[in-house]
């Protein structure tokens, strides 16, 4: 387990080593008073006289040992925590770096709650291993082992008797770990489901209230919380009996030493001072062993969490090349594209060519594969089969940065960071001047709502952009794309949230932006894409036709059906009473 974490410790590994050394010194200092106590009691049992000076010296030695223990143990804990939290920092940074290279779709599938749990709760759990279990465990095991060896030197029979409670306690500990591991996977899966459900419940509260679905939403919420409770209780019910056994037996090394040792004294086979010495040593062993083994119950949990982290970190990253963009032009070619989520294929051998400077529209029913195909162009996922090329260069030959420099993506749902609107737009081109940002915002028709905001473009967006309407968030995301000025633009329902009075202005702005660009646009309203150079009709993951609007009307029955439905919908009116 330690080997899995050690690579992330770096220069701080030495702090863990020093922590273990200091804690060993502290444990020795904490055990020593029992020997000083024996030095006081032993002469008395033999009827010898001891003066007050002899006692005072040992009392001062006990106090000195306690000071040594306090200093060493506290300093050891300080070192171990420095090592632990810097290691956790390194793990989080490493995980973040590896997540960045994962298919974005896979990250979304994990769920916000699960990712939050991994980054906070699961990684924080490793602190127990680094800050406590390793340094304290080493010290609290190493010193008792030495003491037990001393017990055998004093009297091997009493030494053997001291091992019996240790054996019983450790047997109970191993049974607890074995039983707990069998239920641990279900326990953590239920915890992950509960985290995702809580996040979903909070995020969807507005919809729940509006549509009066409190009962249904709370039912799902309650079911996952109760499932987590049931798995937790079931896990602890299996572990509790074994925990009770080892917790009560392990500290009591005198369980057999006292009665059998007393019998041996009565029979003359053992002297009283030897029994007292061994009993004093056993008092020192019990708490240390219990402290060390208290961490053992955490090891199955730690091992599970580390394995989960490894699975996440070991997921194959997106296929990424090492070269810059070297394409001859900005033509985009989809060659025999096959793609599926897990075992279910949703794109079946699509071939499509988008010439530089032209606009290609994807139309079709919901679930036909339009958005998936667009996301494959921006490398949300790796393909199962086929190739996507820009200017003749496979996108997997480029670095992700090189690809991102070529493509701007504006989706239906856009996330805004809780910072100023200016900084949200600046994401499109971090080195842009303020004038460039303002110009991009103006072209995206943002000026009108900037005027009514208290700080204009410097107004805070709020969590997820909650200070703005859906249409306003869309215009901010469009301003990002304008500022980025990439040669290829993907618009996934970019005007979905536009008000009718603003849509015309937005379409004019988009026409201005996409001039001389290679554009892939997805739209449900066919009227917005009828002037596209090419319209690709998607159905069940296939491109069943690709041509101009006029040609498709006469040659493609599926497209004609969409068009007729679109025209009919545009004439809908609310009937006056």
- From 314, 344, 361, the end of a domain falls on 314
**Residue where the block lists tokens 């992700």:** 400
Q: Smallest Cα–Cα separation from 525: which of 558, 476, 563, 487?
A: 563
- At 355, is the pLDDT very low, low, confident or very high (cuts 50, 70, 90)? very high
DSSP 130: I
> What is the pLDDT at residue 299?
67
Q: What is the mean pLDDT of residues 51-65?
A: 90
- DSSP E strands, 355-469: 359-364, 385-390, 393-394, 407-410
Instruction: Measure the CA–CA gap between 486 and 517, rounded to whole angstroms.
Output: 8
Q: Considering the chain, what percentage of its residues have pLDDT values greater than 90?
A: 20
Q: What is the mean pLDDT of residues 555-576?
A: 76
Residues 250 and 172: beta-carbon distance below 8 Å: no
Question: Is residue 308 domain-shared with residue 430, that is, in the same domain?
Answer: no
Q: How many structural domains comprise the chain?
A: 2
Instruction: Measure the CA–CA gap between 50 and 43, rounded to whole angstroms.
Output: 7
Does residue 285 lie in a domain region? yes
Instruction: Measure the CA–CA gap between 487 and 508, rounded to whole angstroms.
Output: 19
Over the stretch 63-74, which tens digit does the pLDDT of each residue have?
999 999 999 989
Instruction: Measure the CA–CA gap between 8 and 453, rounded to whole angstroms.
Output: 46
Structure tokens at 453: 């905001």
- Read out DSSP for 510-550? HHHHTTTSEEEEE-SSGGGTTT-SEEEEEETTEEEEEE-HH
Question: Is residue 257 domain-shared with residue 336, that is, in the same domain?
Answer: no
DSSP 132: I
Question: Is residue 143 domain-shared with residue 244, that is, in the same domain?
Answer: yes
Q: Within a 10 A sphere around the Cβ of 73, how many other Cβ atoms? A: 21
Question: Is residue 385 domain-shared with residue 523, that is, in the same domain?
Answer: yes
Dihedral over alpha carbons 491, 515, 481, 468 (to 10 degrees): -70
Question: Is residue 113 domain-shared with residue 219, that is, in the same domain?
Answer: yes
**Residue where the block lists tokens 């041509």:** 547
Over the stretch 488-536, which tens digit does the pLDDT of each residue have?
999 887 665 555 656 666 666 677 677 788 999 987 778 778 888 999 9
List the 534-539 sheet strands across, edge first: 407-410, 488-492, 518-522, 359-364, 534-539, 542-547
- At 377, is the pLDDT very low, low, confident or very high (cuts 50, 70, 90)? very high
DSSP 133: I
Which residues are registered as beta bridge partners of 535?
Answer: 361, 547
List all residues 6 or more positions away from 528 whose beta carbon is below 8 Å from its beta carbon.
495, 507
- From 271, 288, 314, the end of a domain falls on 314
Alpha helices in 111-155 (DSSP H): 112-117, 123-127, 134-154
Does residue 118 lie in a domain region? yes
- DSSP E strands, 391-533: 393-394, 407-410, 488-492, 518-522
Over the stretch 167-211, which tens digit does the pLDDT of each residue have?
888 888 778 777 767 776 777 777 777 877 777 777 676 666 655
Does residue 237 lie in a domain region? yes
Does residue 321 lie in a domain region? no
Alpha helices in 295-360 (DSSP H): 299-314
Structure tokens at 170: 């450790």
Does residue 319 lie in a domain region? no
Does residue 327 lie in a domain region? no
Q: Residue 110 is part of which domain span?
A: 2-314
Instruction: Measure the CA–CA gap between 55 and 59, rounded to whole angstroms.
Output: 6
Instruction: Measure the CA–CA gap between 424 and 437, rounded to whole angstroms.
Output: 10
Instruction: Measure the CA–CA gap between 93 and 12, rounded to whole angstroms.
Output: 16
Question: Is residue 308 domain-shared with residue 347, that is, in the same domain?
Answer: no
Structure tokens at 190: 């239920």
Q: Considering the chain, what percentage of its residues have pLDDT values greater than 70?
A: 88
**pTM > 0.85: yes or no:** no
Does residue 320 lie in a domain region? no
Return the CATH number at 27: 1.20.1560.10
**Residue where the block lists tokens 């060519």:** 353
Question: Is residue 287 domain-shared with residue 379, that is, in the same domain?
Answer: no
- From 280, 314, 348, the end of a domain falls on 314
Question: Is residue 124 domain-shared with residue 28, that is, in the same domain?
Answer: yes
Structure tokens at 533: 């150079």
- The number of residues making up the chain comes to 577
Q: How far apart are the first and last CA of the chain?
A: 74
Residues 179 and 238: beta-carbon distance below 8 Å: yes
Range among 215-224, 339-348, 377-386 with highest mean pLDDT value: 377-386
Question: Is residue 419 domain-shared with residue 377, that is, in the same domain?
Answer: yes
Residues 137 and 356: beta-carbon distance below 8 Å: no
Question: Is residue 286 domain-shared with residue 363, that is, in the same domain?
Answer: no
Does residue 325 lie in a domain region? no
Residues 510 and 486: beta-carbon distance below 8 Å: no
Residues 257 and 282: beta-carbon distance below 8 Å: yes
Return the CATH number at 349: 3.40.50.300
List all residues 6 or more positions away from 407 whose beta carbon is below 8 Å from its beta carbon.
377, 378, 486, 488, 489, 490
With helix as H, strand as E and coil as C, how does 174-185 read?
HHHHHHHHHHHH
> What is the pLDDT at residue 388?
94
Question: Is residue 419 domain-shared with residue 543, that is, in the same domain?
Answer: yes
Residues 345 and 541: beta-carbon distance below 8 Å: yes
Question: Is residue 236 domain-shared with residue 271, that is, in the same domain?
Answer: yes
Over the stretch 17-35, which tens digit does the pLDDT of each residue have?
899 899 889 888 887 888 8
Q: Dihedrals φ, ψ of 295, to 5°?
A: -75, -25
């Amino acid at each position: 387990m330690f080997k899995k974490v050690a690579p992330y410790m770096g220069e701080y590994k030495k702090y863990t080593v020093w922590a273990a050394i200091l804690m060993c010194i502290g444990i020795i200092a904490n055990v020593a008073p029992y020997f000083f106590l024996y030095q006081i009691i032993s002469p008395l049992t033999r009827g010898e006289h001891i003066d007050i000076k002899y006692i005072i010296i040992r009392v001062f030695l006990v106090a000195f040992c306690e000071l040594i223990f306090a200093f060493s143990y506290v300093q050891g804990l300080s070192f171990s925590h420095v090592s632990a939290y810097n290691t956790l920092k390194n793990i989080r940074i490493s995980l973040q770096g590896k997540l960045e290279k994962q298919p974005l779709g896979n990250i979304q599938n994990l769920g916000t709650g699960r990712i939050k749990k991994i980054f906070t709760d699961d990684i924080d759990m490793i602190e127990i291993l680094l800050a406590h279990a390793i340094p304290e465990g080493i010290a609290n095991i190493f010193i008792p082992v030495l003491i037990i060896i001393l017990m055998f030197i004093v009297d091997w029979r009493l030494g053997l008797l001291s091992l019996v409670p240790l054996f019983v306690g450790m047997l109970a500990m191993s049974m607890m770990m074995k039983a707990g591991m069998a239920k641990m996977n279900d326990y953590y899966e239920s915890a992950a489901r509960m985290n995702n459900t809580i996040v979903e419940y909070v995020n969807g509260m507005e919809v729940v209230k509006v549509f009066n679905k409190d009962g249904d939403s709370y039912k799902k919420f309650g079911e996952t919380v109760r499932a987590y409770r049931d798995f937790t209780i079931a896990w602890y019910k299996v572990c509790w009996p074994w925990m009770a056994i080892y917790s009560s037996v392990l500290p009591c090394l005198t369980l057999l030493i006292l009665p059998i040792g007393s019998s041996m004294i009565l029979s003359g086979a053992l002297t009283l001072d030897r029994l007292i010495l061994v009993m004093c040593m056993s008092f020192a062993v019990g708490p240390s062993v219990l402290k060390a083994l208290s961490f053992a119950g955490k090891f199955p949990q730690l091992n599970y969490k580390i394995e989960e982290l490894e699975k996440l970190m070991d997921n194959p990253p997106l296929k990424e090349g090492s070269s810059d963009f070297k394409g001859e032009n900005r033509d985009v070619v989809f060659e025999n594209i096959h793609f599926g989520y897990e075992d279910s294929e949703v794109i079946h051998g699509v071939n499509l060519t988008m010439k530089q400077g032209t606009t290609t529209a994807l139309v079709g029913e919901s679930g036909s594969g339009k958005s998936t195909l667009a996301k494959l162009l921006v490398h949300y996922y790796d393909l199962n089969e086929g190739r996507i090329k820009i200017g003749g260069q496979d996108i997997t030959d480029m670095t992700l940065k090189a690809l991102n420099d070529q493509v701007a993506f504006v989706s239906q749902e856009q996330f805004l960071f809780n910072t100023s609107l200016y900084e949200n737009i600046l994401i499109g081109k971090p080195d842009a001047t303020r004038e460039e940002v303002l110009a991009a915002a103006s072209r995206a028709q943002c000026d009108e709502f900037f005027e009514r905001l208290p700080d204009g473009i410097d107004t805070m967006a709020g969590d997820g952009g909650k200070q703005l309407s859906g249409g306003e968030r869309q215009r901010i995301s469009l301003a990002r794309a304008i500022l980025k000025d990439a040669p290829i633009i993907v618009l996934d329902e970019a005007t979905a949230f536009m008000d009718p009075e603003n849509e015309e202005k937005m379409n004019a702005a988009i026409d201005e932006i996409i001039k001389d660009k290679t554009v892939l646009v997805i739209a449900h309203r066919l009227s917005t894409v009828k002037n596209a150079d090419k319209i690709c009709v998607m159905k069940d993951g296939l491109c069943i036709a690709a041509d101009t609007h006029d040609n498709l009307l006469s040659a493609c029955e599926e497209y004609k059906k969409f068009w007729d439905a679109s025209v009919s919908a545009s004439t809908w009116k609310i009937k006056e009473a």
